Copies of this chain bind each other. A is one copy, B any other.
Amino acid sequence: MPYVNIKITKEGNITKEQKAALIKGATDLLVNVLHKNPASTVVVIDEVDLDNWGLGGDPILVAREKNKKK
């Protein structure tokens, strides 16, 4: 019955198997920690364009560049 939403950047490198692993891992987490019923546990993965994701006041690619220089 829990609902898990995972938002990540769309970097063209996430495979079908990795998405399945995220779904299984998130569901197992709710089962193991809270004994929730997996049958009605919904997991939704949102992939967000890089330009649409900001961290520290910058678009993520800019933020990553700044981080490298630290």
Contact = CB atoms under 8 A, between A and B. Distances in A.
Interface in A48-70: 48-49, 51-60, 62
Interface residues of A, number: 51
Given A4-B4, A26-B26, A60-B1, A33 B54 contact: no
B55 A24 contact: no
A44 B34 contact: no
A58 B4 contact: no
Given A18-B33, A23-B59, A25-B25, 19 more contacts: A1-B42, A2-B6, A2-B8, A3-B7, A4-B5, A4-B26, A7-B44, A19-B52, A20-B59, A23-B57, A23-B58, A24-B58, A39-B55, A40-B42, A40-B55, A40-B56, A42-B55, A45-B48, A47-B52
